[in-house]
Every structure is written in structure tokens, then in C-alpha cells.
A = this chain, B = another copy of it.
Amino acid sequence: MKKKNPLLAPELRELLKKGNTKAIRTFCETGHPAHVAELISALSASEAWQILQSVDYPLRAEIFSHMDEDLQIEVVASLPRMDVAHLLADMAPDDRADLFKKLPEDIGEAVLPALAQAEREDIRRLAAYEEGTAGSVMTSDYVTLSPHLTAAQAIDQLRQVAPDKETIYYAYVVDDQRRLQGFVSLKDLILARRDAKIGDIMHPDVIFARVNDDQEDAARKIQKYDLIALPVINGNDALVGIITHDDALDVITQEQTEDMEKLMAISGSHESGIYLKTPAWKHFLNRAPWVVILAALGMVSGLIVQNFEGLLMQFAILATFMPMLADTGGNTGSQSATLVIRALALREVSPRDILRILFKEFNVSMLLGLLLGVIAFARVLTMGKGSAIPGNCSLETIGIAIAIALGIQVVTATLIGAILPMIAVVMKKDPAVVASPALTTVVDITGLMIYFGTAKLVLGI
């Protein structure tokens, strides 16, 4: 267990300046490619390329694959197309297809002719799948076996193709039309008799995804069934790629970031959204739309308040409790929305469970509403001592009005919070668009109407 290479970006720059290629090469060869790439990502594109040139393919391509996407594009844009072609040829199919999709069109089209035909077609094919589908995250580097091989022959075959494949631990058994028949793990092969037929030892019940499945569904299958890789088939049931366990981790992390940001009304694409590297104006563009829309909606609350100005002037204590009522509605609604959005994302519930969910949320919100109502009533009695109240009303009546309004607000806000994400799913939208800020603004409006309505009824105005 050697200590981590302690080289830092400035020292790397120093070595470059001195032209100490040997030290750079040693550094690149001994560290983990992801770690080397992380250090390189602090440098300029030309410095990064100088360092990459110090090592041979395929390590050069592997380090490059781990670099930040923006830097990758910068490096590619600065290179002669033959260098780019070499680099792409040695990258993993899914990584290079991702890079190709991000390249400016003219660079991409200029590079393609420099590639071998098989690679060119592979890139075109993988890049064609829509973002967010299983097809868009799969790789075409997988191993297939014929069911007629013996275990010993299969291991030999795996040994031959191993250097080029993303994983040799799972191999897929296909018929002559590439239809998926089963899979064997390398562990199965090692444990089997040498002359056992693949067709006999394979597992015929393969968990798989289809190219157009949601990428998160595919990743959740890898999670649920503890897979190292998940095969992906096309409309003809033919095997066209695999999604590996490490891609599943990336997909789930990406989807989670999107969910959290949507929850807070941040729009925009999130793929390479590394916080500090995203320029301020882009952050602004991602955040402004919803903030402006919600501010406009917030005006509706203002108009309601304006409408009941007379009531507020008569009962100043109502104004004191107004912000608390709005806040509490937003909080309880956001809680139920978050729980439902998360349960939907983890496939724990589906819109068919709507009645069970509403029943549960109704129970929870009744408890919350009761608790908060009692607290509010007590607060009104203690705080309202000095308040000016019209002669025909008692402090207790006002307390009851505020308590009832708060209770109703908690129950409706909770139910609205639970129901909106389900509606979003039914409408084929991401449930996280029912952002907490949006919800807060909506229940502000309903809350004020409930508040003033209840007050008028109970106080008999």
C-alpha cells in the first residue's frame, strides 16, 4: 500500500516547464487515471495535452476520459484531427459517444472521417439515442458467447477479448440473430466443469432494459438486483449494449441533483453542472425564470391581503398571525411533497397508490393541524392581552378562528403537496417540477383565502 502520490498541480506545471517528461510519465503511470485526470483538470488545455502526450495509448485515452468534459472539448478543439481520431479510437464507446455529442458540430464532422468505419458507426449509433434513455448511457464493449461453447473455450475467448472490454465478468449468450438467451458470469465459468456447455450453465432469466427505457429505471434495476452490468436490447430483442455498475452510480447521482434542483425551482441542464465552473450568468439564467414567475404569483397573495385590508384594520391581531400561517402551510406542504416525490423516484409508490397516500397524509396532517391549532390558540390568548378588539368579539373567539384556519391550512397544504407530484407523473412530467417554491407560493394563496374566510365566518363579519 504505497502512499498516495503527493504531486500537486503547481508541481506538475513546474515539471512541464522543466521539460521533465520522464517524471511526468512516471506520475501518470503510477496514479489512478481518475486521480491523474483530476490534477490535470486544474491546468490549461495545452498543458493537459502536453502531459497526456507523455504517456502511450490506451492509458492516454483513459486519463483523458476522466477529465472534465469542458477541458476535454477544449483539448479536442485544439488538436489536429488525426490526434483526435487516435484518442477517440482508444476511448470506451460510451465515453467517446458522450464526448462526440458535446463537440461543436464542425469539429465532430471533421474528425469522423479520420476514424475507422466500425468506430465511426459505433459513435453515430450510440450518439443517436435520446438523452435520458438507457441507450444513451450504455456501452457497446461487452462480451457475447455462443451457447455451444464449453466453459474452457469461453474462458479462452474472454481472455482474448479482455483487454478491449469494459467488463469480462458478465458475458451474454446470444443466438445467431443476437437475441439475448442468457448470461454467465466469469465466476460461473470458473466454477463449472471445463467441458460444461455454456447453454447448460447459463442463467436464462436475464434482467435487462430496453434502449428507450428511462436511464434511472435501468440504474435502479442494477441497484435492486446487485448487478455488475445490465444488458440493453432493442426493439427486435437483439442485444445492443450494456450499462455497467459505475454508470448506474453516475446516473443516480445525476438524477438526484436534478431532483433537488427542480425541487428548488432551478431549471436548466444539469449534466456537467459543476457548481464553481458554471459561470454566474448561466446560474442566473437557470434560476431567474421560476423566481420571476413565482414573484408574479406572489402578487396574488398581496392582492388578497389588500382585499381584506378592512378586516385587518379591525383585527390587528390577524395580521400578526398571517406570516406564521403562510409559512406553516408552505412547510407542511413541502414536507409531504418531498416524501411523495422521493417515494415516486425510488419506485416505492406509483400514482395508483393515490388513495392510500392521501389517506396517510390526511391522518398525518390532522395530527399536525391539531397540534399547531392548540399551540396557536394558546399563543393568541397570551399575546392578545393588549390588542385592541372590537367590543362584540372575545379574544377566545379570535383564538378559535385562528386555530381552525391554521388547522385547515395544514391539512389542505399537506394534501396539495401530496397530490401535485402524482398529477405531474400522470401527465408524464417529472414530479420534482412541483417545486417547493412553487408549492409554497400556491399554498400561500389558498392559505390566505382560508384564513380570511374562516375569520369572517367565525367572527361573524
Taking Cβ atoms with an 8 Å cutoff, the residues of A that contact B are: 1-2, 4-5, 30-32, 34-35, 155, 158-159, 162-163, 168-169, 179-182, 186-187, 190-191, 204-208, 222-228, 233, 237, 245-246, 248-250, 252-253, 256-257, 259-261, 263-266, 274-276, 280-281, 283-284, 287-288, 290-292, 294-299, 301-303, 305-306, 309, 312-313, 316, 319-328, 330-332, 334-335, 337-343, 346, 348-349, 353, 356-357, 360, 363-364, 367-368, 371-372, 375-376, 379, 383, 436-437, 440-441, 444, 448
Contact = CB atoms under 8 A, between A and B. Distances in A.
B205 A353 contact: no
22 contacts: A1-B179, A30-B205, A158-B190, A169-B169, A223-B250, A245-B249, A248-B249, A252-B253, A256-B256, A266-B339, A280-B364, A283-B339, A283-B364, A291-B332, A294-B327, A295-B324, A299-B379, A309-B319, A323-B326, A327-B444, A335-B437, A436-B436
A299 B319 contact: no
A360 B283 contact: yes
Contact of A245 (B246, B280, B290): B246
B441 A327 contact: yes
Contacts of A5: 205
B301 A323 contact: yes
Per DSSP, chain A at the interface is helix
B155 A190 contact: yes
Nearest to A303: B320
B31 A339 contact: no
Contacts of A280: 360, 363-364, 367
A186 B309 CA distance: 76
B257 A346 contact: yes
Nearest to A326: B323
B323 A444 contact: yes
